[in-house]
Amino acid sequence: MAQEQAGGHELYYVPSESKLPVWLAFGLGVMLYGLASWMNSTHTGGHGNEILMLVGFLVVAVALYRWFAAVIAENHAGLNSSQVKRSYVWGMGWFIFSEVMFFAAFFGALFYIRFLALPWLGGEGEKGIAGQYLWPDFSPDWAAGVTNPHPAWAGPGETLAAPSLSNWLAYLPFYNTVILLTSSVTIHVAHTALKAGDRRKLNLWLGITVLLGILFIGVQIEEYVQAYRDMGLTLDSGIYGSTFFLLTGFHGFHVTLGTFMLIVILARCLKGHFTKEDHFGFEATAWYWHFVDVVWLGLFLFVYVF
């Protein structure tokens, strides 16, 4: 941390004015306006503004690409003092924490439903009286996930709850757990190789990590297809399907984003970016990947196993 330089302090690099933030904000606004109007049009029958959504998305994508390119160029030009670099580290760390809290809301919903609301709805406990009045015949069975109080929600025929251990070899979520845990190890090996200056090994293990990420997404798609096609487990099949698809879906979305980030840093590695000492772009992605992994462990335990 070279704080002191001859006769005083290292200057902090404050970037000169930039067109990117206001364009990005504009793109986000347009994209979400288009998305909302498109969503509404699907059930009101009016016309939506999908075009706006796509235009907004394009603006967002271009702005983000140029933003990251600018930051990388600044770093390569040596503009970033160690203090500036620390700011980026703080930024990424707290961004991941905000993501943790986003998932915490969904996990909280799952626990509240499973352990409080559903038993009450089934007539148990202090608040059970409402359930006895509304749906006296309803008795919740989470493991089966099949019943809902009102027939408008059909309920899935079966759920993806974990079978007995001996059957795990035919259980897709088990494979995904292995894949994701392995990928956390492989990216760590790649990181170690980067720090040791072994570029060939770095590229190899980072490439393997990317493949594992893609494999995970593939298995999850297969799992969703089975759920929709064979099991009747859908988003609108009642509360089991709601929590299942929201939690695993948003996780899958984050894996997709993480895989995209991995592909980007793989491309950068192949171009010769990152040095032994200076590779925060790599580390930030690795952190994100580990975070996605930890969330999956929570999912596997509380959505699938228990």
Partner 1 sequence: MSAVIDAHHDDHAHGPAKGITRWLYTTNHKDIGSMYLWFSFLMFLAGGVMALVIRAELFQPGQSFVEPHFFNQMTTMHGLVMVFGAIMPAFVGLANWMLPMMVGAPDMALPRMNNLSFWILPFASALLISTLFMEGGGPDFGWTMYAPLSTTYAPDSVTFVIFAIHLLGASSIMGAINIIATILNMRAPGMTLMKMPMFVWTWLITAYLLIAVMPVLAGAVTMMLFDIHFGTSFFDAAGGGDPVLFQHIFWFFGHPEVYIMILPAFGIVSHVIPAFSRKRLFGYDSMVYATSSIAFLSFIVWAHHMFTVGMPLAGQLFFMYATMLIAVPTGVKVFNWISTMWRGSMTFETPMLFALAFVFLFTIGGFSGVMLSIAPADYQYHDTYFVVAHFHYVLVSGSLFSIFSAVYFWLPKWTGYMYSEGLGKVHFWLSFLGVNLAFFPMHFSGLAGMPRRIPDYALQFANFNAWSTVGAFIFGLSQLLFLYVVIQSIRGGQKATAQVWDGAEGLEWTVPSPAPYHTFATPPEVK
Residues 225-254 that bind partner 1 (CB under 8 A): 234-236, 238-243, 245-246
Q: What is the DSSP letter of 12?
A: P
CB 129 within 8 A of CB 202: no
Q: What's the CA gap between 175 and 164, in Å, rounded?
A: 15
Q: Measure the CA dihedral 195/199/202/203, to 10°.
A: 150
Q: What's the CA gap between 190 and 295, in Å, rounded?
A: 22
Of 83, 182, 203, 256, the residue at the interface with partner 1 (CB under 8 A) is: 83
Contact between 35 and partner 1 (CB under 8 A)?
A: yes
Residues near 207 by Cβ (< 8 Å), separated by ≥ 6? 266
Of 45, 47, 150, 277, the residue at the interface with partner 1 (CB under 8 A) is: 150
Contact between 117 and partner 1 (CB under 8 A)?
A: yes
Q: What is the DSSP letter of 228?
A: I
Contact between 52 and partner 1 (CB under 8 A)?
A: no
> Which among 115-123, 166-174, 220-228, 288-296 is the span making contact with partner 1, rule CB under 8 A?
115-123
Amino acid at 176: N
Number of residues counted as binding partner 1 (CB under 8 A): 85
For residue 4, count other CB atoms closer than 10 A to its CB: 9
Of 51, 69, 105, 301, the residue at the interface with partner 1 (CB under 8 A) is: 105
Q: Which two tokens stand for residue 265?
A: 């840093």
Nearer to partner 1, 24 or 265 (CB): 24
Q: How many helical (H) and strand (E) elements, i.e. helices and strands, does the chain have? A: 9, 2
> What are 224's strand-pairing partners?
none
Q: What's the CA gap between 142 and 155, in Å, rounded?
A: 11
> Which among 98-106, 165-173, 264-272, 291-299 is the span making contact with partner 1, rule CB under 8 A?
98-106
Subset of residues 256 to 285 that bind partner 1, contact rule: CB under 8 A: none
CB 166 within 8 A of CB 265: no
Nearer to partner 1, 122 or 173 (CB): 122
Please state the closest distance from residue 162 (CB atom) to partner 1, in A: 21
Subset of residues 159 to 218 that bind partner 1, contact rule: CB under 8 A: none
Subset of residues 123 to 142 that bind partner 1, contact rule: CB under 8 A: 125-127, 130, 134, 140
Please state the closest distance from residue 27 (CB atom) to partner 1, in A: 9
Of 51, 61, 94, 301, the residue at the interface with partner 1 (CB under 8 A) is: 94
Of 1, 152, 165, 169, the residue at the interface with partner 1 (CB under 8 A) is: 152
